[in-house]
Amino acid sequence: MEPLVQFFYILLPFLRDWPEWLALTVIGIVAALLMFGFVAIFALFAIWLERKVSAHMQDRIGPMEVGGWHGWAQTIADTIKLLVKEDIVPENADRILFKLAPAIVFTAALAGFAVLPWTQDFIPADLNVGLLYILSVSSFAVIGILMGGWASNNKWSLYGAMRSASQMVSYEIPVALALLAVVMNAGTLSMRHLVMAQSGNILDWNVFNFFPLTAVAFIIYFVASLAEVNRTPFDLPEGESELVGGFHTEYSGMRFAFFFLGEYANMYVVSAIATTVFLGGWLPPFEFLSFIPGPIWFVGKAMTMVFIQMWLRWTLPRLRVDQLMYTCWKVLTPFSFAIILLIGLWKVI
Amino acid sequence: MKQYFKNIYEAIATILVGMGVTWRHLFTRAVTVQYPHVKRELPERSRMQLFVDMDDCIGCMQCQRACPVDCIDIKTIRAGKEEDLGEAGNGTKKKLHVVQFYIDMAKCCYCADCVFPCPTGAIRMTPEYEFITYDRSSLLINFSQYSDEERAALEERERKEKEAQAAAKAARLKAAEEAKKTAAAQKDESKSE
Amino acid sequence: MKKSNFPESQFELQIPDPLRTDEMTLSMGPQHPSTHGVLQVILKTDGEIVNSARPQIGYLHRCFEKHAENITWHQVIPFTDRLDYIASMNNNLGYAIGVERMMNLEVNERAEYLRVIVAELNRIASHLIALGTYGLDIGAFTPFLYVFRDREKILDLFEEICGARLLYNYVWVGGVAYDAPEGWREKVLEFVDYFEPKIKEYNDILTYNKIFIERTANVGVIPADVGISYGVSGPSLRGSGVNFDLRKDDPYSVYDRFEFDVITGKGEMGTIGDTWDRYWVRVAEMYESAKIIRQAAEQLPEGDAKETIPRNIKVPAGEYYMRTETPRGELGYYIISDGGKMPNRVKVRSPAFCNLSVLPAIAPGVMIADLVAIIGSLDIVLGEVDR
For chain A, the domain total comes to 1
**pLDDT (mean) for C75-97:** 88
Q: Is the CB of B29 inside 8 Å of chain A's CB atoms?
A: yes
Q: Is the CB of A199 inside 8 Å of chain B's CB atoms?
A: no
% pLDDT > 90, chain C: 2
Domain that holds residue B58: 50-148
- Whether B164 is in a domain gets the answer no
- What are the boundaries of each domain within chain C? 33-386
Residues B94 and B130 in one domain: yes
Model confidence at A204: pLDDT above 80: no
Residues B81 and B15 in one domain: no
For chain B, the domain total comes to 2
Q: Which residues of C touch B4 (CB under 8 A)?
A: none
Nearest to B60 by CA among B89, B109, B94: B94
Task: Note the pLDDT tens digit of each residue in C246-271.
Answer: 888 888 888 888 888 888 888 788 88
**pLDDT (mean) for A187-209:** 77
Q: Report how far apart, in Å, the C-alpha atoms of A268 and of each of A41, A43, A44, B119 are.
A: 12, 9, 12, 69
- Whether A243 is in a domain gets the answer yes
**pLDDT (mean) for C186-206:** 88
pTM, to two decimals: 0.86
Residues C110/C302, Cβ–Cβ less than 8 Å: yes
Query: What is the per-residue pLDDT for A230?
Result: 81
Query: What is the distance between the alpha carbons of residues C29 and B30, in angstroms, rounded to a whole number?
Result: 34
Query: What is the distance between the alpha carbons of residues B100 and B143, in angstroms, rounded to a whole number?
Result: 7
Q: Is the CB of B30 inside 8 Å of chain A's CB atoms?
A: yes
Model confidence at A183: pLDDT above 70: yes
Residues A222/A327, Cβ–Cβ less than 8 Å: no
Model confidence at C5: pLDDT above 60: no
Neighbors of chain B by Cβ distance (3+ pairs < 8 Å):
A, C
Task: Note the pLDDT tens digit of each residue in A14-45.
Answer: 777 777 777 778 777 887 788 788 888 888 88
- Our CA-based measurement puts residue A302 at a distance from the nearest CA of chain B, in whole angstroms, of 19
Q: Report how far apart, in Å, the C-alpha atoms of A33 and of each of A39, A83, A123, A134, A299 are.
A: 10, 19, 14, 19, 18
Query: What is the per-residue pLDDT for C6?
Result: 54
Report the chain B residue with the minimal C-alpha distance to residue A312: B19
Neighbors of chain C by Cβ distance (3+ pairs < 8 Å):
A, B
% pLDDT > 90, chain B: 0
- Alpha helix ranges (H) inside chain C: 64-68, 76-81, 88-103, 109-138, 142-162, 184-202, 210-216, 224-229, 235-238, 246-249, 275-299, 351-356, 359-362, 368-378, 382-386
Report the chain B residue with the minimal C-alpha distance to residue C163: B46
Give one DSSP letter per residue of C260-287, joined into a string: -PPP----SSSSTTSHHHHHHHHHHHHH
Q: Is the CB of A184 inside 8 Å of chain B's CB atoms?
A: no
- Whether B126 is in a domain gets the answer yes
CB contact under 8 A, C209 and B47: no
Confidence band of C11 (pLDDT split at 50, 70, 90): low
Task: Note the pLDDT tens digit of each residue in C55-82.
Answer: 888 888 888 888 888 888 888 888 888 8
Query: What is the per-residue pLDDT for A82?
Result: 86
- Whether A152 is in a domain gets the answer yes
Residues B142 and B69 in one domain: yes
- Whether B192 is in a domain gets the answer no
Q: Is the CB of C140 inside 8 Å of chain A's CB atoms?
A: yes
> What is the average pLDDT score of chain A?
82
- Whether A150 is in a domain gets the answer yes
| Three-class DSSP category at C29 | coil
Q: Is the CB of A312 inside 8 Å of chain B's CB atoms?
A: yes
ipTM topping 0.85: no
Domain that holds residue A233: 89-348
Residues B85 and B1 in one domain: no
Confidence band of C1 (pLDDT split at 50, 70, 90): very low
Residues B16 and B85 in one domain: no
Element housing C334 (H / E)? strand C329-337
Residues B17 and B83 in one domain: no
Give one DSSP letter per residue of A134-157, joined into a string: HHHHHTTHHHHHHHHHHHTT-HHH
Query: What is the per-residue pLDDT for A346?
Result: 83
The strand pair at B140-142 and C49-56 is best described as: unpaired
Q: Which residues of C touch A59 (CB under 8 A)?
A: 145-146, 149
- Whether B103 is in a domain gets the answer yes
- Given the candidates 3.40.50.720, 3.30.390.30, 3.40.50.740, 1.10.645.10, the CATH classification of the domain at C33-386 is 1.10.645.10
Q: What is the CATH number of the domain that holds B88?
A: 3.30.70.3270
Model confidence at C9: pLDDT above 60: no
- Whether A46 is in a domain gets the answer no
- Whether A120 is in a domain gets the answer yes
> What is the average pLDDT score of chain C?
85
Query: What is the per-residue pLDDT for B155?
Result: 81
Rounded to 5°, angle at Cα C295 from C291 and C299: 170
> What is the average pLDDT score of chain B?
83
